[in-house]
Structure 1
Amino acid sequence: MTDQIRRYTKVFLTLCLMTALVFIPNIYASAGKNSTKIIKKNDKFKVEAEYGLGGIILYDYPMQVEVTIESEEDFSGIIRLMPYAEYGEKFVARGKRVSIAAGETKTFTLTMDTPSSSSAVKLALVNDKDKVIYEERSNLSIQNAGASTYVGVLSDDYSGVGYFNGVSVDVGGNSNVMSTIALDKDSFPDNSRVLSPMSYIVVDNFDTSTLSKEQYEALKEWVKNGGVLVLSLGSHYQNVLSGIGDDFVSGTVGNVSNKTLTWYGVEEDYVLENVETVDFVLNDGEYLTHFVSDNAAATVSYGTGSVVVLSYALSMEPFSNYARRTDVTSLMVTNTVNSSLLNMLNGYSYNRRMNLGEELAKISGTTKVPSALLYGLLLVTYVVLVGPILYLILKKNNKREKIWLAIPLVSLAFTGVIYLTSFIYRVKKPLVNTFAYIDVTANAAVEDAYVNVICPRAKKYNFTLSDKYSDFTCNTSTYDYSLFGNNSNKDHDYNFMYIDNGSGGEIQFNAGSTFDEYNFGVKRVLDADMGKFLLDLDCQTGTLSGNVTNNTAYDLKDVVINFENRFYLAGDMKKGETVSINPSKVQQSYGYGFFTQQITYNSNETKQQNINSNIENTLDMTAFNQGCVWGTVDSYSSQVFEGDKYKYSGCAVIIQQYNQSYSDVTGSFCPNINTMMEDVKGDCDTQLGMIYSSEVVVTYTFASFGDVEVLAIDTSNVDTSYTIADVYAYNYETETYDPIFADSDTLSSGQLKPYIQGGLLKLKYEKPLDGGDINQYSETAMPRILAYGAAK
C-alpha cells in the first residue's frame, strides 16, 4: 500500500510540474548575484545587462548600467530602465536613444539612481513607434552604504595590490572590510556620480594621461565631494603624475632612492628596509608624520575630500610582499579618513543634498498656483449661503416662494466669483522653480541646479534639456519605489523619464492631473567668471575674526561666514564690499543647529531662514579646520530647458569652502575627539551628541594624532535645555572607570597617563542622577572634548 501511494504521489507531482511549465511562459537567466526574468521575449535580440560599477550597487547611490545588445535586425529606439513599482507608486525612468544595424553587437552605458527601497528593475527596448519589443526584469543584489569600504584601483597591474581585499577597516565606530574594484582607462566612468560608492581610489603604476578630459573631471569632482584619492608613486611616479595637474594636485619631484620606512601603529610600529621612494613636496599640503617616517606621505584638501601622495608604490616589492602590508593599509585608512567618508561609512544617505535642494526649489517659486484653502472657503460659503441662510432671509421677508429663483442667481454669482479668481492663477506655461547652489571654491564655478516643474494641464509634456546642463539626478526618497513586492506595473506609465539622446537630454513628463509637480537636479560648469570671496580670517580656538570681501559678480543678501560650528551673520553685501567680523557676535551651533533653532522658535520663518537652515544641514559640524562663506542671489533662475515656453523663477546661493588652521595652536589640535571614535557601545547619536541609553561607552584612537598632552571639556556648544552627561575614563592600571573633569575642565599629560594606552582612550558617558536615580527620559548631551598635543 505504501509503495502504491508513493507511485501515485510521484505521478501527481510530475503532472503538476508539467502543468506549471505549460503555464509559465517566462524564461529565467542568472546574472551573478542578480537574477533576470524575461517578460517579453524577442528572438531577434540578445540582451545582457551589467548593473553597478564592478557589480557594486548601494541603496540611494547612483548606479552604472552597461547594456550589450546583439541584434539580428535594424533597430532604432530607446533603451528604457524603469524601477519595478507597485500599483499607484511614483517612479522615474531612464532612457537612451540608440540605433543598431542588423548583425551588430553594441554596448551602451546608462546611469540610474538606485531606489531607496528597490530590488528590481525593468529593462525594455522601445522602438520609434513607442512599442515595447523586448522586456526583462532583474532582481538586484543591493547593499547598504557602510557595509564595506570600496576601493577603486586604477592600475596596469592589479596583482601587486590584491591584498587590499579583506583588509579590516575600523574608523569612527564603524567596522568593515575593504573590497576592491579594478579600473582601467576603458572602465573608468566619465560621471562622478558613478564613482560615489567608492571611499578611496588608488592610482598605482598607471598612466593618468590616458584618461579622457571627462574622466579626469569626474575624478576631480569625486574628490571634491568627499572622496580620498591615493597617488602611489615609487619609480613609476612619472606615469602616475603625467595626467594630473592644474588646480587639483601640484608639487615638486625630487630624487628616487631606497629608504627604511617606519609606519607608526597604535600598539606597535612597522619597519621595512630598502623601499624605493621618490622625494615629493606637495604644494599647500602637509606631511603625515604621525603615519609614516621620512616624509613618505603627504595630504592636501580639495573640496570636502583630499588627495594623499605616497612616495612609495603599494604594488612594488618589497612592500607588496611585506608581511605587515595589510596592517599598514588599515593604518593608512585610519590616518586619512575624512568626515565625508565617515558619514558614508555610517550609512548616511547620498540623497541628503538632493532632499534639501528640492525643498528650496519649491519655496523659491514666486508664481501663484490655485489655493485649495481659497476654493474650499468659497465652496463652504456657497453651500451655507445657498442653503439655510438664503432660506432664512427669504422667510423673514415672506418671500419663500422666490427660493427657486434666488438659488440660480446666487449660483450664477458664485460662478462669476470663481471665474474672476481664476485670473489670479491662470497659467498656460509650465512653471519652472529653481534653486541653484553655486560653488566657487575651485577655479571653475559649478552650479548644482535643483528644479521643481509644475505642469498646468493633465497631459504629456516633452522638454529638451539645455545642452549646458548634464548629470541628471532625481530624489529616490521622493520617488519612493518600495519594490519588495512582485506586483506588476505594466499597466502603469512612468511619472517622467530622462532620455539621453547623445547630444543632450530630453525629459518626458506624464502629468496625470493639473498642476502635477516633478523634481530633479542637473549640473553645469559656468562659463562666466563668478568671482570669489576674498578671505582674510584669523581662526582661533575660542573665536573668529578678520575680513571678508564680496568679490563675486553679484550683490548678495544675508551673507553667512562659517568656521566649524561657528557662524557670523554679515548681512547684505554689495559687490566689492568688505565686512569686518565682530568676534563678540560670532555664534555657535549646538543641538539641531543654529538656523534650525531660529526657525523652531519662530513659526513665521522667512525663505532666507529656510535657505540658511538647509545649507547648514549640508555642513559637517564635526569636521575641523573647515569653513565656508555663502550669500543669496535673489531672482536667479537656472534656464535648464531649451526654448521660451516656460515660466521661470528662483534664487541661488553662492558658496565658497576653505580650510584654515588655528593661529593660536602649535602642534596637534582636535576640537572634537568624536572624529576619532573607534567603537561605540550604547544608544547615542554621535552627530548630534545625544545619548539615549543610561550609559554609552566610546573608544577613541589617537593613532593619527600623536601623543595627547591636554584633554579639555567644552559645554558651550550644548543646548542649555539639555543635561550634560557625566564623563568617566577607563583606568588601565586599576581596571575601573574614574570620574574626570569633576574638579577641572582640563587634564594634563601626567593626569592622562593611566587612561591612554597604545593610543586608545575609553570614555563612559552616563546620564546624571536625578534624586538618586537615573532619569531615563531626560535629554542628555555629550560634552565636546578637545585634544591638544604634538604630532608624533
Structure 2
Amino acid sequence: MKHKSLIILALTIIFMILLSGCMRKMISQTSALPTTEEETNEEGYRDLKGVETFKVQDMEFVVNYGIDGYVKYGQYFSVQARIVNHGEDHDGVFQVIIPGEGNDNALYEQNVKVKANETTDVEFVIRMNGIGDQFQYRFVDEDNETIVEKVAAIKLLEDQKDIFIGVLSNGQSEFRYLEDGDTELIYLKKDNIMNDYHALEALDGIIIYNYDLELLTKDQYISIEKWVREGGSLILEKNSKNYFLDLLKERTGTKKNFFTKYNVEFGNVLVADEDLNIQTDQFQTIGMEIQEEIIHDLGEGKLRNNSNRYGGTFYNYRINDILSIPESKEVPEVTGYIIVLSIYILLIGPVLYVVLKKRDKRHLVWMLVPMTAIIFTFIVYALGFHTRITEPYAKYLTYTKIGEDGKAVEDTYFSLTSPYNIEYNAIFNSKYPVGIISNEYGYMYGNLKKHDYTEYTKAVEYKEDSTNIFMQKFSSFSPLYFIGSRETTKQGGYQYSIKDNINEISGEFTNNLGYDLSHTAIMCNGTIIPVGDIKDGETTRIKSDSGNSYSTLNSIYYTDVIEKIAGGSLKSKNLGVLKRYKALEIYLEDSMVNLTKDNYLIGFSSEKDTQSIMNTLSIKGKGIEVVVIPLEIGEINDDGDMNISNLDCYITDTDGYSIDIYRYMPNDVVDVKYTFGKSDKIKSIQYSDRGNLEFNPNSKAGFIGSIYFYNNRIKNYELVFESGKARSITDIAPYLDDENNLLVKYKAETEKLREVPVTLPVLTATKEAY
C-alpha cells in the first residue's frame, strides 16, 4: 500500500512539472500574440488596430500595418516595424510576403542593422494585390535564421466601407455625424503620417481640427501636400489654413455653403467657414449637409482609386493587355531563314538530282544529303545568333502628371520578360518604390490558413541607393508585371485659360514644356474634347461643339472619340496607334466610370522625349509616355452662376431601379428624385447636346423619348424636354417642393428599347453662387 502511495505521489509530481512547463510555454506563446486590449495614447485616442506587439529572444517588436488595420485592395498600404534590441548587434532582413496562387507569392525585403540597446524603425509601402486578406512578415538574421515569422490578418476592403476619412485632432472632437453606412472615420496621430504619401492612399479625406501642426515634420507636411495633389481632399478649420499657404497661394477659392473649395491639381482643400465640431442635436440637420458637401467634393484621384479597388483585377488586365502588344524586334526576322531553306530545298532536290544523274554518281546521294543537312544546320544556327531573343527585355507604360509648378509624378507600369526560365535580377540605379502586380484575374476569398509562404516568383529588395527586382521559377517568355513611380521637376511649363459655360467649353492652351505633345484631348467636367497635336511653343484654341464633345462612359464604346484622339482604331496595324488607343481607353474610362469632375489635358510625348524610371533600369525596354496635365477650371460661369455639369450627384431615389455607369434604361419609364441642398437656389436646368449621345451623328446609343417634371402646383407631370431637341428652362419654382426636391419621369420610346441601347439622359443646371 505504501509502495502504491509513493507511485501516486511520484506521478502527481511529474504531472505538476509537465503542467508547469506547458503553462510556461503557453505564456511564452501568448507574449508573441498581438495585443487586443485597447489603450489610449498620449493624445487621448485609442491605439490603432492593426498593431502587433511581442517579444522574441532579446528583441521587442511592434508591427503596425494599414490604416486602423484596414487595407484597400489594389492600393498601397504601410507596414511599419519598430525593433527594440536589448542584446547584441544583428544584421538581418525584414520581409513582407503577399500571398499568390500556388508559389506565385510576392516578396518585399529590406536590409536592417539592429544595433545593441538601440531602437530601429523599418517602413514599407506595399501595393496590396494578392489573393487573400492576410500577409506574412519575417525577420531573418545574418545567419539566415528566422527570428520572427507571423501571418497578419487584415481587414481587406472590397465590399465594405466605401470612404475613409482620417481625423487629426488634439482632443476628442465630435465628428460622428460624418459616419454612415458608406463612411468610416479613422482617428490619426502623428506617427500615422508617413513620409511616403503612398501610405495615405487608403484615405479619401483628412480632417485637421484643433491640432498643433508644428508637431508635423517638414517631410510629413510634404507627404500630405503630395497626397492632395494626387487626389486627396484636405478639410481644414480656418486656423489651420495658414499652415498650408504654400499649397493655396495664387489659387482662387470657390465659395460653397459651409466651405471654400480650392482645387489643387487632382485634389482639393476645403476650408471650413463654420465650426465642424457641432452639437449632437445638429447631427441630422447641419451635420448631414456638411457631410454631403464633403463627400460631393472628394478629390477626383481618390474616386478613381475606389474604381481600381472594386475593379482592381480588371484594371490589371487592361494594363497587362497593353504591355502585351509586341514590338517588331520581338518577332524573329524570318526572311533569312526562308532564303536559307529555299536554297537547301533546291540543292537536295532538283540540283543534286540533276548533277548526280549527269555524272552518273547517283549512289553518292546517301552521303551528300546528310552532309548537306549538317552544313545547313550550322548555317541556320549561326543565323539564329542575329534573329533570336537571348536577353531579357522590358516594356512599359508611363503616366506622367505635371503640375503648374513643374513638379511631376511618373507612374510606370512595366513588364519584364526572359527567354529562359532561369533566375535573374533587374536593378534600378536609384531607390524607387516598386510594387508587384499580381498575374491573377481576381481577388479570392480563399481559405489561406495553410497557405505556403516559403516560395515566391518575384521579389523587390530596397537598398540604400537602389531597388533590385529578383525573379525565379517562372515560364519562359511569360511576362511578370510591376508598377514603379518617381517624382521629378520639369524645366518647361504651360499656360492655359479655359472656361466652362455648360453650353460651350472654350479657351486656349500654350505648350512650353520643351517638347511636342501629340494626339491630345481635354477632359472638362466629364466632357472629352479631341484637340490634336500641340507643338512646343504653340498656342492652341479650344472650343466645344456637338461634333467634338463627348460625355458619359458610353462615349468610349458607342462613338469614335478615342479613334479621333489616337489617330486610328484597334483594327490598325500600326503599333503606335494600338498603344495610344489602349492607353487612352484605360485613363479616360476610369474618369468616366467615376463620373467625376476631373479636368485635365492628356496627350503623348514623342519617343525621343519619353522619360521614366525605365531609363535607369539595367534591362533595356521600350514603351510610351502619356502626359497628363491637371487643369483648374472654375465652376462659376460668365454670368456669375455656379455650373452643375451633371445632376446625378443629387439623385436620392430611383424608384427601385439601379442607374449604373452605362446609364442603360431598364424599362421604358424611370422615375428619379433629385434633392438639392436647402440653401441651393436653382436658376436653370438644361437638356443639351453635352453628355447626350443622341445628338452625335456617329453615336450608336442615346436617349430616345421624353422627359417630364412633376409640377407641384397642378399636381401632375408635364412634358419639359424631348430627345434630340436642346432646351433650357428658367422657371424652376413650380417643379421644386418645400424640401427642394425635383421629381423627373424619363419615358423612352418602347420599340426603340429593342433596337438600340437607350440610355438615361444627362441634365445640367446652374445655381446661384454662394
Q: TM-score, normalised by structure 2?
A: 0.77
Measure the CA separation in 2 of the matches of 1:73 and 1:367: 57
Share of identical aligned residues, percent?
15
Q: Which sections of structure 1, spanning at least 5 residues, go unmatched?
A: 1-17, 169-175, 252-282
Question: Are residues 1:93 and 2:71 paired?
Answer: no
Offset of 1:759 from its aligned partner?
A: 2.5
Measure the CA separation in 1 of the matches of 2:615 and 2:146: 28
Measure the CA separation in 1 of the matches of 2:679 and 2:255: 13
Q: Which amino acid aligns with 1:244?
A: F
Name which of 699, 706, 709 aligns with 1:720. 699
Measure the CA separation in 2 of the matches of 1:632 and 1:190: 31
Question: Are residues 1:300 and 2:272 paired?
Answer: no
What's the counterpart of residue 760 of structure 2?
A: 782
Matches within 5 A, 1:66-145: 66-69=80-83, 74-89=89-104, 91-101=105-115, 106-115=120-129, 117-128=131-142, 130=144, 132-144=146-158
Q: Which amino acid aligns with 1:720?
A: S
C-alpha contact 1:58 1:145 (8 A) present in aligned 2? no
Matches within 5 A, 1:462-481: 462-467=425-430, 470-476=432-438
Q: Which amino acid aligns with 1:783?
A: P
Name which of 518, 543, 554 aligns with 1:557. 518
C-alpha contact 2:570 2:581 (8 A) present in aligned 1? no
Measure the CA separation in 2 of the matches of 1:702 and 1:579: 38
Measure the CA separation in 2 of the matches of 1:788 and 1:433: 47
Residues 247-273 of structure 1, C-alpha deviation per residue, up to 9 Å, x if partnerless?
x1238xxxxxxxxxxxxxxxxxxxxxx
Residues 440-479 of structure 1, C-alpha deviation per residue, up to 9 Å, x if partnerless?
2231321414133334543333444333x53323334668
Across the two proteins, how many residue pairs are aligned to each other? Answer: 700
Offset of 1:711 from its aligned partner?
A: 2.2
What's the counterpart of residue 579 of structure 2?
A: 610
What's the counterpart of residue 44 of structure 2?
A: none
Residues 732-753 of structure 1, C-alpha deviation per residue, up to 9 Å, x if partnerless?
7587766542496446354662
Q: Which amino acid aligns with 2:174?
A: V
Q: Which amino acid aligns with 1:700?
A: Y
- SS of corresponding position for 1:437: strand
Distance 1:757 1:579, change over 3 A: same
What's the counterpart of residue 65 of structure 1?
A: 79
Name which of 254, 276, 287 aligns with 1:326. 287
Matches within 5 A, 1:492-507: 493-507=455-469
What's the counterpart of residue 243 of structure 1?
A: 243
C-alpha contact 1:630 1:653 (8 A) present in aligned 2? yes
Offset of 1:416 from its aligned partner?
A: 3.0
Residues 146-188 of structure 1, C-alpha deviation per residue, up to 9 Å, x if partnerless?
624211111222x1235356x33xxxxxxx3432222233321
C-alpha contact 1:497 1:507 (8 A) present in aligned 2? yes
Residues 72-104 of structure 1, C-alpha deviation per residue, up to 9 Å, x if partnerless?
554322111112333254x32111221224565
- SS of corresponding position for 1:333: helix
Measure the CA separation in 2 of the matches of 1:349 and 1:749: 40
Question: Are residues 1:578 and 2:539 paired?
Answer: yes
C-alpha contact 2:439 2:480 (8 A) present in aligned 1? no
Distance 1:394 1:480, change over 3 A: farther
Residues 311-341 of structure 1, C-alpha deviation per residue, up to 9 Å, x if partnerless?
34434xx758856563344244255345555
- SS of corresponding position for 1:753: helix
Question: Are residues 1:287 and 2:265 paired?
Answer: no
Distance 1:134 1:220, change over 3 A: same
What's the counterpart of residue 168 of structure 2?
A: 154
Residues 523-580 of structure 1, C-alpha deviation per residue, up to 9 Å, x if partnerless?
2232451x1222244544344444332211223333434434232333251x223334
Measure the CA separation in 2 of the matches of 1:546 and 1:123: 53
Measure the CA separation in 1 of the matches of 2:444 and 2:378: 43
- SS of corresponding position for 2:228: helix
Distance 1:710 1:546, change over 3 A: closer
Q: Which sections of structure 2, spanning at least 5 residues, go unmatched?
A: 1-18, 37-48
- SS of corresponding position for 2:102: coil
Distance 1:201 1:476, change over 3 A: farther
Measure the CA separation in 1 of the matches of 2:418 and 2:678: 54
Name which of 161, 176, 184 aligns with 1:163. 176
Offset of 1:46 from its aligned partner?
A: 5.6
C-alpha contact 1:360 1:611 (8 A) present in aligned 2? no
Question: Are residues 1:567 and 2:536 paired?
Answer: no
Question: Are residues 1:431 and 2:390 paired?
Answer: no
- SS of corresponding position for 1:474: strand
Offset of 1:128 from its aligned partner?
A: 3.7
Distance 1:417 1:732, change over 3 A: same
C-alpha contact 2:521 2:528 (8 A) present in aligned 1? no
What's the counterpart of residue 193 of structure 2?
A: 188
Distance 1:761 1:337, change over 3 A: farther
Residues 185-231 of structure 1, C-alpha deviation per residue, up to 9 Å, x if partnerless?
33212222221221211111123233223222221222122221111
Q: Which amino acid aligns with 2:141?
A: N
Offset of 1:481 from its aligned partner?
A: 6.9
What's the counterpart of residue 279 of structure 1?
A: none
Name which of 206, 211, 226 aligns with 1:206. 211
C-alpha contact 2:50 2:69 (8 A) present in aligned 1? no
What's the counterpart of residue 310 of structure 1?
A: 272
C-alpha contact 2:707 2:719 (8 A) present in aligned 1? yes
Q: Which amino acid aligns with 2:78?
A: Q
Q: Which amino acid aligns with 2:243?
A: G
Measure the CA separation in 1 of the matches of 2:224 and 2:675: 31
Comparing 329-338 and 477-486, the one that deviates more:
477-486
Measure the CA separation in 1 of the matches of 2:393 and 2:654: 49
Comparing 636-645 and 552-561, the one that deviates more:
636-645
Q: Which protein is richer in helix relative to its size?
A: 2
What's the counterpart of residue 330 of structure 2?
A: 369
Residues 323-365 of structure 1, C-alpha deviation per residue, up to 9 Å, x if partnerless?
65633442442553455555556765568887766655665x8
- SS of corresponding position for 2:479: strand
What's the counterpart of residue 41 of structure 2?
A: none
What's the counterpart of residue 218 of structure 1?
A: 223
* RMSD (CA atoms): 4.6
- SS of corresponding position for 1:587: coil
Offset of 1:521 from its aligned partner?
A: 2.5
Offset of 1:647 from its aligned partner?
A: 2.4
Question: Are residues 1:420 and 2:434 paired?
Answer: no
Q: Which amino acid aligns with 2:421?
A: A
Distance 1:508 1:756, change over 3 A: farther
Distance 1:754 1:426, change over 3 A: closer
Q: Which amino acid aligns with 1:207?
A: D
What's the counterpart of residue 262 of structure 1?
A: none
What's the counterpart of residue 630 of structure 1?
A: 603
- SS of corresponding position for 2:763: strand
Measure the CA separation in 2 of the matches of 1:623 and 1:645: 39
Measure the CA separation in 2 of the matches of 1:436 and 1:528: 15
Name which of 710, 719, 739 aligns with 1:758. 739
Q: Which amino acid aligns with 2:740?
A: G
What's the counterpart of residue 691 of structure 1?
A: 665
Measure the CA separation in 2 of the matches of 1:99 and 1:133: 14
Distance 1:348 1:639, change over 3 A: closer
Q: TM-score, normalised by structure 1?
A: 0.75
C-alpha contact 1:446 1:523 (8 A) present in aligned 2? no
Comparing 413-422 and 74-83, the one that deviates more:
413-422
C-alpha contact 2:711 2:734 (8 A) present in aligned 1? no
What's the counterpart of residue 171 of structure 1?
A: none
Residues 585-626 of structure 1, C-alpha deviation per residue, up to 9 Å, x if partnerless?
961235242544566564435424532552354242444483
What's the counterpart of residue 261 of structure 1?
A: none
C-alpha contact 2:317 2:441 (8 A) present in aligned 1? no
Measure the CA separation in 2 of the matches of 1:508 and 1:151: 37
C-alpha contact 1:152 1:198 (8 A) present in aligned 2? yes
C-alpha contact 1:151 1:201 (8 A) present in aligned 2? yes
C-alpha contact 1:682 1:697 (8 A) present in aligned 2? no
Name which of 747, 750, 760 aligns with 1:769. 750
Q: Which amino acid aligns with 2:693?
A: N
C-alpha contact 1:446 1:525 (8 A) present in aligned 2? yes
What's the counterpart of residue 541 of structure 1?
A: 502
What's the counterpart of residue 9 of structure 2?
A: none
